[in-house]
Amino acid sequence: MKPPKNTEIQNLGKCTIPSPIELSKIAGDKIVNYVKDEERVLFDDCIKSFYKYVKSEKIPPSFEKAGPREKIFFDPSKLKSAIVTCGGLCPGINDVIRAIVMQLYYRYGSQNVLGIKYGYQGFIPKFGHDFVQLTPELVEDIHEKGGTILSSSRGEQPTEEIVDTLDRNNIKILFCIGGDGTLRGARDIAIEIEKRELNISVVGIPKTIDNDIAYIEKTFGFETAFSKAEESIIGAHVEAVGAPNGVGIVKVMGRHSGYIAASAALACREVNYVLVPEVEFDLEGENGLLTLLEKRLEARKHAVIVVAEGAGQELLKSESAKKFDASGNVRLKDIGTFLRDRIKQHFRDQDKEINVKYIDPSYIVRSTPANSSDSIYAANLAQNAVHAAMAGKTNMVVGTWHNSFVHIPIETVGSFRNSIDPESQFWYSVLEATGQPIVMKNDQ
């Protein structure tokens, strides 16, 4: 991964208000310390890279460390904040909402928190969505439920109208929970706010079940997603071994990145073929999936295939015009049903028995409550987002890098999609776990 071009965090102004969180500035006194802006986390922590920068007398790339600051920008007693959730559902959204509200109420003493209904639509008057007053009583048990209590929507809304609504309602902090489209919108909102010279902080909490946001080690909900997908893989394996020449196919989410498919396969260890968008494969020919599947069934009488939704799209190309969803994403062809039908037809053409069971758990996976690990992670992201916003930081997201919580400009996390490197140790571990060939193409 290339070093980020920009890691500097935008601030609304000088912080002059003492933080109501009474922490320490002295190391070793057994009290947690405030974090200073000059504390940073190296982008590349390898010693070879460090010496390269030392030799060149250049400062190595780094991210600003997240955490509570000694001085804050906003007066908590006069502050009004808002939370919006956009895009598809993902385990852990309610955990983030709850943690933001609790952090503002009980750590900073800021008790005016609004929930924006149905994504960015909620800012636009013509839709008629009312705000929700978020209180500790309202959110106290929402982390036990999947989805988002604020509901969601896709699609762009006029940035100027969104900022009009923020200004008109005296909202000074906006927390945007969403993926790449949501964060692009948050960036545009922050830019419009700056043009108008308004003191409004915009802080993003990255949300994508696919784990594909740049410079973010892990997005919340991802662990829950592949753990839930694992349950379907186990079911597919049971079905596959329960019939002659049984083939279980599980399609999981992953438009551009196959992390869910790969991680679920590693967790389960019952998968024979993992198909992801990052690695092309052939169906026909000596190295194609169908030939490999024939050999597998001859030897073991069953097989399990896990396929990410964005895999194999080159096999499904047609001359028809591309269609897009409300978020501007290309509508993918259904690789899952394509494989199911193509495998059935292949073996029937040879007059061979085949028993294919197809499972698509996508909506179950994304609507489930967060597991313990994701719940902890989502809450920590939210708490650090509040610390950043209270300190007047804006046009940024909170994420982790080298297991430390950091601040990253929205522009930087939107610079490309995070995806599996086919030359990485991670992908090689998948190949070792499945036993599938390193290459399933005939022209290599």
Helix, strand or coil, per DSSP, at residue 71: strand
Query: What is the Cα–Cα distance from 104 to 389, expressed in whole angstroms?
Result: 10
- Which tokens belong to 242? 């329960």
Name residue 72's beta-bridge partners: 17
Catalytic site residues? 210
Residue 203 in contact with residue 393, Cβ under 8 Å?
yes
CB burial string 158-174: b at 16+ within 10 A, e below:
ebeebbbbbeeeebbbb
Q: 119-132 burial, b if ≥16 CB within 10 A, otherwise e? A: bbbbbbeeeebebb
Q: With a threshold of 0.85, does the pTM exceed it?
A: yes
pLDDT in tens, 369-406: 999 999 999 999 999 999 999 999 999 999 999 999 99
C-alpha pair distances (Å), 426 with each of 253, 312, 399: 19, 20, 21
Q: What pLDDT band is residue 328 in, cutting at 50, 70 and 90?
A: low
User: In whole angstroms, what is the distance from residue 176 CA to residue 31 CA?
Assistant: 31
What per-residue confidence (pLDDT) applies to 318?
A: 63
What's the Rg (C-alpha) of the chain? 24
Do the beta carbons of residue 403 and residue 247 sit within 8 Å? no
pLDDT tens track for 270-309: 999 999 999 999 999 999 999 999 999 999 999 999 999 9
Q: What is the mean pLDDT of the chain?
A: 95
Is the predicted pLDDT of residue 105 greater than 90, yes or no? yes
Q: Is the dihedral of CA 401, 269, 433, 368 positive or negative?
A: negative
Residues 6+ apart with CB under 8 A from 380: 99, 405
Give 349-355 contacts, CB < 8 A, sequence gap 24+. Answer: 352/245, 353/244, 353/245, 354/245, 354/247, 355/243, 355/244, 355/245, 355/246, 355/247
Domains and CATH numbers, the chain: 10-219+370-413 (3.40.50.450), 222-314+324-367+422-434 (3.40.50.460)
Q: How far is CA 341 from CA 14, 115, 318, in A?
A: 62, 45, 17
Q: What is the pLDDT of residues 330-382, one digit of tens each?
A: 778 999 999 999 999 999 999 999 999 999 999 999 999 999 999 999 999 99
**Taking Cα atoms as reference points, which of 65, 61, 67, 66 lies closest to residue 42?**
61
For residue 200, the model assigns a pLDDT of 98
pLDDT for the residue numbered 329? 65
The whole-number average pLDDT for the span 306-314 is 96
Q: Tens digit of pLDDT for each residue in 23-49?
A: 999 989 999 999 999 999 999 989 988
Strand partners, 246: 302, 355
Inform me whether the pLDDT recorded for 327 exceeds 70: no
